[in-house]
Amino acid sequence: MNLNFSYYMPTRIIFGCGKLSELETTPYLPGNKALVVIGASGAMKKLGYLDRINKYLKNNGVETVVYDKIQPNPVSEHVEEGASAAKENRCDFVIGLGGGSTIDSAKSIAVMAVNPGQYWDYITRGSGGGKTPANGALPIVAITTTAGTGTEADPWTVITRSETNEKIGWGTNCTFPCLSIVDPELMLSVPAKTTAYTGMDAFFHSVECYLATINQPTSDHLALEAVGLITKYLPVAVKDGTNIEARTKLAWANTEAGICESLSCCISHHSMEHAVSAYYPQVAHGAGLTMLSVSYFSYLAERNPARFGDLAMAMGEDVEGMSEKKSAMAFITGLKKLIKNIGLEEEKLGDFGIKREDLKTFTENSFYAMGSLFDITPVELTKDDVLAIYENAYA
């Protein structure tokens, strides 16, 4: 356990079934005119969520403007376009309604609505300009409809620069949401496969934050609880999406994972997946993480088994009397069971059009775009190591 840390978690979270309606009365809205950011799929309109949001906000004295072009792997062009919409309409805060892509985009739009230049000027990795957003960001409200990224409880926003195939996570204190509403009833409509992908994203956030060399007591506690909840309830929700108990437990696990991301951090498993979906945006983030996971975590567990036994126990694996190395491999056993139990066992990188010759490109990209996550990974990984992990996953 790392007892040398910083704790900052400024987001107000309103959690529970039916809590969306509190938008109508909450005194915590940060302005009078909101840019509501939603995905291009139209799901928020079809499901009636956008109409509800608009009605509640109107009753609470807030005007709304909608920006509806966000893709599942969001791109910087739409961040800048959304920021222009916010400026033109004189919006004084931004709402992200939907999954991680829309909430991440809302955060980035909030930055660009009050700062000059282009979005990539402020990115601190890869080809980013590394500038500090001197004007901060418009206030951000997050309303999540999936249990996946935990972005409602952290400052991070992941955006792709299409022309350079860089998918980079970035954030500052000003990109924490000031208010987040987590209503599990909004998640009842999520399809089984999306439930599986998003649930595994939250799972890996928790696992990686626990293993990261910058772990700390609060993130450890929340990460282990989230791992246990996801192991138990994700297969239930995949099988029966209407199970409100499972949806609620997963929603809380997801928010826990987001808080973990605020206090600890993901490791290079995410660097490696970002490279995959930067080049192949049809690969859902949770799918990419899952397809790489057994190869990646096996590599780590064999070389530094510490802490893996705790994760295995959280998943319900019996590690009593086992050596540290055997208990670490029990986590891999539990991981394989979970992947099978949610129907993702047969998915392979090749199914998405990825070719073996892409793996070297992914390796280079993972260090270039998200290299800092290798610095907090509990095993030192060379480019040869990373290529070997990709190769094993591909095979």
The residue extents of the domains of the chain are: 12-187, 192-394
Hey, how many other C-beta atoms are within 10 angstroms of the C-beta on 380? 10
SS3 342: coil
Q: What confidence score (pLDDT) does residue 32 get?
A: 98
Tell me the two tokens of residue 232: 């138990």
CATH class, 12-187 region? alpha beta
Nearest to 120 by CA among 86, 87, 72, 79: 79
Same fold flag, 12-187 and 192-394: no
- Please tell me the distance from the alpha carbon of residue 92 to that of residue 89, in angstroms, as a whole number: 9
Residue 125 amino acid letter: R
- The mean per-residue pLDDT over the stretch 211-216 comes to 97
Q: For the segment 338-360, what is each residue's pLDDT rounded down to a tens digit?
A: 999 999 999 999 999 999 999 99
Q: Give the pLDDT score at 229.
A: 98
**Which tens digits make up the pLDDT trace of 266-291?**
999 999 999 999 999 999 999 999 99
336 falls in which pLDDT band (50, 70, 90)? very high
Across the strands, what pairs with 142?
96, 180
Total-model pTM: 0.97
**How far is Cα 125 from Cα 246, in angstroms, rounded to an integer?**
38
CA–CA distances in Å: residue 84 to residues 73, 126, 158, 175: 20, 25, 19, 18
pLDDT for res 6: 85
* Radius of gyration of the CA atoms of the chain, in A: 20
Q: Could you read off the pLDDT of 54-71 as tens digits, one per residue?
A: 999 999 999 999 999 999
The answer to whether 275 touches 362, Cβ cutoff 8 Å, is: yes
CATH code linked to domain 192-394: 1.20.1090.10
pLDDT category of residue 3 using cuts at 50, 70 and 90: confident
